[in-house]
Structure 1
Amino acid sequence: MDPETRTLLLETLRRFVRDTLVPLEAQVDEQDEVPEAIVAQMRELGLFGLSIPEEYGGLGLSMSDEVAVAEEMGQTSPAFRSVFGTNVGIGSQGILMDGTTEQKSRWLPRIASGEVISSFCLTEPDVGSDAGAVQTRAVRDGDSYILTGTKRFITNAPRAGVLTVMARTGTPEDRAAGVSAFIVDARSPGISLGRPDRKMGQRGTKTCDAIFDHVRVPAENLIGGKEGQGFPTAMKVLDRGRLHIAALSCGIAARLIREAVAYAAERRQFGKPIAEHQLIQAMLADSRTEWLAARSMVRDTAARYDAGEAIATDAACCKLFATEMVGRVADRTVQIFGGAGYIADYGIERFYRDVRLLRLYEGTSQIQQLIIARDMIRAAGSQ
């Protein structure tokens, strides 16, 4: 994206966040619902197609541009970003990266416009971090596959029109090599949804179980037209998704730091603003330093991704550091606000709850640590 267009996009998004989304944060948290009028505005802004190429109706943002957008969306409740987040990331990128020409042409324009919401179905009741242990089965039956199994914590499943489903076409002993990816119309007979999850935070974000009871899926919906490619597809999708979540974390941290500084300058104790007390200053300084380090990591890695470099290890580093960082920043912000930080009226406790999820999805912090360490050991062994 050329600099002038990028600046216009970010300025428009900044106004949308500040003037439209921020005033609705408490309402969305209380009602557990993002108003449909807001979703319509997101469609008009093109937010559902940020990462989808222009030839399919999207904006075709680079990773660096997407990171900048994610930082801006972090300035408000993450529930708003979640509405279009799956279309931008895990719900569309598998089709974009590994889908056939026909699959891309059929689904990507509708995903980019927001006509359909997409969801990514990998996690199961007994399968989370061990993604290679997928138990949902896909059995070939003529020119179709029959899918049976349950997926858990599926973001946007209640809104979804299309699902990217990871299912086992091989044997359990095949582990990851036996997992394939399918594009599934969410209206297909045999699909049912569990009750909406009641969550600690990120209210307004819709998640629930997706249950597949002998769902017939055309063989032409096998992503890439080849069995056993589901796991590599999922891993490629997660590389980009981890950078996006890291950038989102930086945006939320920036919002919290701004709120903490403003409150510390206003709140007085012992005859002066608490911002003049050194222990408060230490918390502010630590937060600013960690935010800057995380943002620098994310922007650098995004630029190298755009340059075609292999960044899987560094994407895991970014996700690990940025999501842990924003948790510490949120904790310090509650501390700076004191009792007020624990009261819902100020909104700080909401962010404290919201950011806790960031260390869990797109791979937990512990999984990121394993990825990073294993890649380091593998690289050392090949020298």
Structure 2
Amino acid sequence: MTVLDEQERELVALTAEFVDRRVRPRVAEFEAEDRYPDDFIEEMKQLGFFGLLVPEEHGGTGVSTACFARVTEELARGWMSLAGAIGGHSVISYLLATVGTEEQRAAYLPRMADGGLRATMALTEPGGGSDLQAMRTVGTRVGDEYEIRGSKTWISNAQHSGLIGLLCRTDRDAVPAHTGMSVLLVEPGPGLTVSEKIPKLGYRGIEACELTFDAMRVPAGAVLGGEPGRGWVQMMRGLEVGRVQVAARAVGVAQAALASATRYAQERESFGTPIWKHQSVGNLLADMATKVQAARLLTLDAADKLDRGVRADMEAGMAKLFASETAMQVALDAMRVHGGYGYSKEFDVERYFRDAPLMILGEGTNEIQRNVIAAQWIARHAI
């Protein structure tokens, strides 16, 4: 498993300090108003969080995926929405760095490294959900351009992104359909409408919107990697990074819920003793702590596979599946430890319980993760 070097350990420690000193004392004010955290975002730019997966030669930090996961965990421990602010951006950074043309890397990565240009990815369509092969958004070649028609939904950071990694069909006759898909690097402009933010249960502060493309034109050079028809393969690799990031977010939320429950169980007394000494509460804490550590190790194992350049779709799926289900269960158990106070907005565990479901549903639902895991497991153990 990847061992962080000294510089990476210092970065994780710096993130933890930022979370404890700056984020946790103020998160409630942004959360309550569903307000975009401009102050935090500016500090995150200065700390280099937007350039974590951008190579050093393009101005980024170029840390390991394992370090990226640990930084994500710390951010989510403070406020999951901040980890979401670098999620899609980091996937597009990774894709540009690994499969982008020299011109694309030079045009985008230096500006993405310092957060001056923020990116998001656009896959999901209204009514499509996880069925990406039923995609209807089309980029049609017209001379030296592509004309885009269609719509995407649940796109995080849509109002604040200057670059969209759009997965669409550029060959409608391709069989199977995914062989005719490309990732187009789209900069907002005429022909693109970004909706108002979609109201959400949790994951507040960071917007999710619908994108509508109405004959929007982009240059032919906007095809990621320069060769159309490779978008499906590219984005599936990018989603391995994305699922590690979502798993790390889940670990962060679970860790925060566990910490809150641990503190409360020592402070609160009933029948003349701290409640953690009651077996029912002590057992909850034991199970919570074990699950959080298991989720963290699964996440770092998947990150290690990516760092070694080997296929990690099964491992990333396992990490995302287990960590997200763990976050949901640990958040609920933390509410149980708090009793009635866990249902109050006065305590952070209420927020953790609202944020946790996103990781179960996002970046491919857990039902889809199980399909991916099963298929890869059989493929690797075929008789």
Smaller-chain TM-score range?
over 0.9
Q: What letter matches 2:218 in structure 1?
A: V
Q: What letter matches 2:243 in structure 1?
A: R
For the Cα contact (< 8 Å) 1:87–1:112, is it kept in 2?
A: no
Structure 1 residue 96, shift from structure 2 partner: 2.3
Q: What letter matches 1:218 in structure 2?
A: P
Say which SS state the counterpart of residue 167 (structure 2) adopts: strand
Structure 2 CA distance, aligned partners of 1:190 and 1:112? 27
Aligned to 2:373: 372
Structure 1 residue 308, shift from structure 2 partner: 2.5
Aligned to 1:13: 15
Residue 46 of structure 2 is aligned to residue 44 of structure 1? yes
Aligned to 1:154: 155
Structure 1 residue 189, shift from structure 2 partner: 0.7
For the Cα contact (< 8 Å) 2:139–2:148, is it kept in 1?
A: yes
Q: What letter matches 2:250 in structure 1?
A: S
For the Cα contact (< 8 Å) 1:49–1:87, is it kept in 2?
A: no
Structure 2 CA distance, aligned partners of 1:337 and 1:2? 35
Aligned to 1:144: 145
| TM-score, with structure 2 as normaliser | 0.96
Aligned to 2:313: 312
Structure 1 residue 298, shift from structure 2 partner: 1.7
Q: How many residues align?
A: 380
Out of 143-152 and 36-45, give the one that drifted further. Answer: 36-45
For the Cα contact (< 8 Å) 2:254–2:292, is it kept in 1?
A: yes
Which residue among 24, 36, 51 is the counterpart of 1:22? Answer: 24
For the Cα contact (< 8 Å) 1:34–1:79, is it kept in 2?
A: no
Say which SS state the counterpart of residue 372 (structure 1) adopts: helix
Structure 1 CA distance, aligned partners of 2:118 and 2:345? 31
Structure 2 CA distance, aligned partners of 1:209 and 1:217? 19
Identify unmatched segments of 5+ residues in structure 1: none
Say which SS state the counterpart of residue 77 (structure 2) adopts: coil
Structure 2 CA distance, aligned partners of 1:120 and 1:305? 20
Structure 1 residue 332, shift from structure 2 partner: 0.2
Structure 1 CA distance, aligned partners of 2:177 and 2:4? 44
Structure 2 CA distance, aligned partners of 1:164 and 1:7? 31
For the Cα contact (< 8 Å) 2:145–2:217, is it kept in 1?
A: yes
Aligned to 2:164: 163
Residue 123 of structure 2 is aligned to residue 94 of structure 1? no
Residue 182 of structure 2 is aligned to residue 180 of structure 1? yes
For the Cα contact (< 8 Å) 2:55–2:62, is it kept in 1?
A: yes
Q: What letter matches 1:194 in structure 2?
A: S
Structure 2 CA distance, aligned partners of 1:211 and 1:179? 18
Which residue among 32, 35, 48 is the counterpart of 2:34? Answer: 32
Say which SS state the counterpart of residue 345 (structure 1) adopts: coil
Structure 2 CA distance, aligned partners of 1:18 and 1:268? 27
For the Cα contact (< 8 Å) 2:258–2:330, is it kept in 1?
A: yes
Q: CA RMSD in A?
A: 1.5
Aligned to 2:116: 115
Aligned to 2:66: 64
Structure 2 CA distance, aligned partners of 1:365 and 1:111? 30
Structure 1 CA distance, aligned partners of 2:84 and 2:297? 24
Residues 133-169 of structure 1 deviation map (CA, whole Å, 9 limit, x = unaligned): 2100111100000001111000100111111111111
Structure 1 CA distance, aligned partners of 2:4 and 2:336? 42
Structure 1 residue 35, shift from structure 2 partner: 3.2
Residue 75 of structure 2 is aligned to residue 73 of structure 1? yes
Aligned to 1:355: 356
Q: What letter matches 2:366 in structure 1?
A: S
